[in-house]
Amino acid sequence: MLACASGLGAAEKPMAVKVVVVTTFEIGADTGDKPGEFQYWVEREKLDQKIVVPGVTHPVLANGRGVLGVVSGTTVRASNQIMALVLDPRFDFSKTYWLVNGIAGVDPADASLGSAAWARFVIDGDIAYEIDSREAAKDWPYAIIAIGAKKPNEIPKNEGWEPETMIYEMNPALLARAFALTKDVVLVDTPAMQAYRATYEGLPNAVKPPFVLIGDSFGSCRYWHGAALTQWANDWTKLWTKGAGNFVMTNMEDQGIATALTLLTKMGKADFQRVLFLRTGSNYCTPAPKQGVVQSMQAEYAGMIPSIESAYRVGSVVVHDILAKWETDYAGGVR
């Protein structure tokens, strides 16, 4: 693989990468302190070979067994760093599997703190008309409208300038395999998580111990919160997937990363049929029945560290399966 900080020499054959693990942030050092999304991957997968990639803020780390670990940065701007990584001529990502994973706000109607959701769809929540909710019609549930529509939750007409794609669908065979491999993984539960989720009385999935499910990823640059915007995310997901999707996890990066990997696939630099998105619930995206929305948004995340643990526990099962069965099951793609 590589031991020097500068990476492969320009004249050498590009490094064929089997798996890229994408996380969005780290806190402090990569090892030995309070963990962000990257730390458990670095420590447990022995990502100890540093590669400096122009355009990628955090050094890319490798383990000499075909795995790269990347910190993409947060918000939709993560797409820029993924583009920079894949366009670096020192690497060959044409057969690479991508595991995009990290923490998220979870819809309490679907899952609980620490739960892990494999996305069938990534939905773009950024591209929209929006007005101040105080100025909206009184019968509108929220003031966000699809471009080309006249009211919320309406199928839009094509305006001619908006992006063609608002949803990104995963390879169903790869998704099914990932879920089958991980559906019974035991996830961390703590007294603090138990106490907090008990406040979501009347929402049976919210009060369950953490579990693995298939549920869609809703990406938008704004950190939103509350019942009205959770309804918007659910409606938006159903609108753009024509009823096939179910919003479960909200985050700020997946729409950008999915866009970048789609474009790179069209360029022959990546393969979107080898991409997986895994999100784990660090907090609920709407308050408990007796909790105010501001109080909920500002509450300490009882699921923060457990959700980081869940991301590794679930995601690493798939990474290890890819490495162990590369020649037989993965090199030619999963169909």
pLDDT tens digits, one per residue of 220-246: 999 999 999 999 999 999 999 999 999
CA distance 16 to 251: 30
Task: Give the separation between CA 107 and CA 112, rounded to whole angstroms.
Answer: 8
pLDDT higher than 80, residue 6: no
- Which of 205, 222, 257 minimizes the C-alpha distance to 142? 222
Is residue 251 within 8 A of residue 218, CB to CB? The reply is yes
pLDDT band at 299 (very low <50, low <70, confident <90, very high): confident
What are residue 5's DSSP bridge partners? none
**What per-residue confidence (pLDDT) applies to 160?**
84
pLDDT by residue (tens digit) across 51-91? 999 999 999 999 999 999 999 999 999 999 999 999 999 99
For 15-127+163-326, CATH gives 3.40.50.1580
Query: How many CB atoms sit inside 10 A of residue 262's CB?
Result: 16
pTM: 0.95
DSSP E strand boundaries for the chain: 15-16, 19-23, 49-51, 60-62, 67-71, 91-92, 97-106, 116-118, 121-124, 129-130, 144-145, 167-169, 212-214, 216-219, 247-251, 275-284
Q: Above 70 in pLDDT, residue 182?
A: yes
Tokens of 117: 């959701």
The 8-class DSSP code of residue 145 comes to E
- Could you tell me the residue ranges of all domains in the chain? 15-127+163-326
- Which amino acid does the sequence have at 83? M
| Stretch (H or E) spanning 304 | helix 304-324
Contact (CB, 8 A) for 187 and 210: yes
pLDDT for residue 12: 83
**Which residue, chain included where needed, has tokens 């820029």?**
80
CA 71 to chain centre: 12
> How far is residue 39's CA from residue 169's CA, in Å, rounded to a whole number?
29
For helices 254-266 and 78-86, what crossing angle results, to 10°?
30
Nearest residue to 98 (alpha-carbon basis) of 223, 256, 216, 271: 271
Q: What is the pLDDT of residues 112-157, one digit of tens each?
A: 999 999 999 999 999 999 999 999 999 999 999 999 999 999 988 8
C-alpha to C-alpha distance for 4 and 242, rounded to whole angstroms: 49
DSSP tag of 210: P
Residue 3 has pLDDT above 90, yes or no: no
Q: In angstroms, rounded to a whole number, what is the distance separating the alpha carbons of residues 283 and 261?
A: 27
What token pair was written down for 194? 């138990």
Q: Would the pLDDT of 41 be above 60?
A: yes
pLDDT of residue 4: 41
Task: State the pLDDT at residue 11.
Answer: 59
